Structure formats: C-alpha cells, structure tokens
C-alpha cells in the first residue's frame, strides 16, 4: 500500500552541494535521502522538500515528504533512516500524512536564522555555522533598517535569480536582530548577533542578500532609510553583498 510520510530533518550543510539532487553529483541532501529510501523500499522513491537550501546552508527543521509502498511503521522508517544516513543528516520526527500532503505546496511560512560573530577573537567550535565581521556593528541601526523590510513587498532587488518569471512578492512578518552570548565564551562577551527572518516564503539567496545589506547598515555604509529605495528600485545591484552560506540555518517550516 502506497503511503505518504512527512519527516522533519536536521543537517549540517557544510559538505553538501545543497538540497536539490543533481545529475553531476550524488552529494546532495535530497539525493542521499532518495537513494536510502529507494533501497529500503526496493523501488524508486522521490523525496519532496519544503524548499531548496543552497550548498553550505544548514537546517534545524527542514520538512520533506515521500510516498512509499511499505508495511513499516513510522518509527521503524525513522530508525532505518537514522541508522544508515551520514552522521550530519538526521530525521528528528516522522508522521504519516494524508495522500495529498505536499511539504512545499502546503507550507505557509518559514523561519531562517543567520548567525554573525562580531569579534576578532576566533570561535573554533562555531566556525562552520557563523559569518565573522570584525568591525563593530551598530545593532540599533540594523534594527531600524529591518523595520523597512517587514511587510508585503516586491523583493526583486534581494534575489540573485534574474531569469525567473514567477512573482517576487513576499511577506516578511518579522526580522529580529539581537545580540546573544556564545556558550563557549564568558558571559560578558556578547559577541554574536542573530538575524531571524520569518515570512511566507523567501526567494533564491534572499535571506543572505538581506543580511548582507543590513550588515552594511551596521557598518554605516548605508542608512536605514535606504531600504525603502532599494525595494522600490527592484535592482539587485542596489542591494548589499551575498553573505556566505555557512551562517544560514533553516529553523522551521509552518503549515498552519
């Protein structure tokens, strides 16, 4: 009997070429999952993800679903997957869903987090998950700039995909920028800045370009009110740089 399963995944994206399977390599998250599940089912299994994370991007709560003909229970499938998946990919939850559930088409919102270390002191244990900015950042200025980006807008200026004919209108519900304390350092060293984005969906490279632009505000290379002009221009060249993938983590996918 063909059944539909939803899984929540965690993975460290450092050594993978992103989520989406590719003909040129089998070193993708989707590719690893499909190969494993096809072996389990002794038949081809296709895995649908809630979205594509780029090479080097991590996930704490990626959602995927797959249809498979099996008599295994959800817990047995989860145990099988975690037994044979690489140690940097894990299934943290699984449930059987109605036939028509689709992890991407039914998603209502997502939350991403981008981590920045604002220090010249190396953080050895965080090096794969953070982007380092040594110059002092003005958090208050970045918070003011972020307020201009909350709401429903055409974010064409904040995507690297110039060829897409699909709508570039998205809604950002909230951008939270806050200082936090690294657990590996004394409490008086508030050297990490978290950029948390929640919205109904994000364009190709959108979060990384938004972060790069906000960081330029934090470095006083731009003013907070420049965000409105960048949005209205619709031009990628008016926005900031694309920050490295390693600082970005998909935290949550929402279905309500």
Dump pLDDT digits (tens) for 120-132: 988 889 999 999 9
120 is catalytic: no
The whole-angstrom separation of Cα 232 and Cα 228 is 6
Task: Check 26, 42, 54, 120 and give the catalytic one.
Answer: 54
- Residues of the chain with pLDDT > 70, as a percent, come to 96
- The mean pLDDT value for 144-154 works out to 98
Residue 216 host element (H or E):
helix 206-218
State the CATH class of domain 2-97.
alpha beta
Topology of the domain comprising 110-254:
Alpha-Beta Plaits (3.30.70)
Which one, of 116, 114, 119, lies nearest residue 136 by Cα?
119
Describe the chain by its helix, strand, coil percentages, rounded to 5: 25, 30, 45
Dump pLDDT digits (tens) for 216-252: 999 999 999 999 999 999 999 999 999 999 999 999 9
The whole-angstrom separation of Cα 32 and Cα 28 is 6
Tokens 């992103």, residue? 18
Q: Give the predicted TM-score (pTM) of the model.
A: 0.95
| 3-class SS string, 183-199 | CCCCCCCCCEEEEEEEE
DSSP string across 24-53: S-S-SHHHHHHHHHHHHHTS---EEESSPP
Query: Residue 162's pLDDT band (boundaries 50, 70, 90)?
Result: confident
Dump pLDDT digits (tens) for 22-55: 988 989 999 999 999 999 999 999 999 999 999 9
Q: Identical fold at 2-97 and 110-254?
A: yes
Which one, of 85, 51, 56, lies nearest residue 253 by Cα?
51
pLDDT of residue 100: 97
Domain spans in the chain, listed from the N-terminal domain onward? 2-97, 110-254
């Amino acid at each position: 009997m063909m059944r539909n399963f939803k899984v929540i995944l965690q993975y460290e994206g450092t050594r993978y070429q992103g989520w989406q399977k590719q003909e040129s390599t089998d070193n993708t998250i989707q590719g690893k999952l499909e190969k494993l599940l096809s072996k389990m089912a002794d038949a081809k299994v296709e895995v649908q993800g809630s979205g594509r994370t780029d090479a080097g991007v991590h996930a704490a709560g990626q959602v995927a679903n797959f249809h498979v003909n099996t008599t295994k229970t959800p817990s047995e499938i989860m145990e099988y997957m975690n037994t044979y998946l690489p140690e940097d990919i894990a299934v943290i939850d699984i449930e059987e869903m109605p036939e028509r559930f689709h992890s991407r088409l039914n998603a209502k919102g997502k939350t991403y987090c981008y981590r920045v270390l604002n220090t010249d002191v190396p953080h050895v244990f965080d090096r794969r998950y953070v982007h380092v900015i040594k110059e002092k950042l003005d958090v208050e200025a970045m918070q003011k700039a972020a307020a201009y980006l909350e709401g429903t807008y055409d974010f064409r200026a904040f995507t690297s995909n110039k060829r897409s004919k699909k709508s570039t209108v998205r809604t950002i519900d909230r951008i939270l920028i806050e200082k936090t304390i690294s657990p590996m350092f004394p409490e008086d060293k508030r050297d990490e800045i978290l950029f948390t984005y929640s919205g109904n969906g994000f364009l190709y490279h959108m979060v990384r370009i938004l972060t790069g632009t906000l960081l330029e505000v934090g470095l006083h290379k731009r003013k907070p009110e420049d965000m409105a002009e960048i949005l209205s221009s619709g031009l990628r060249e008016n926005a900031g740089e694309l920050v490295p993938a390693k600082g970005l983590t998909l935290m949550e996918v929402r279905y309500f």
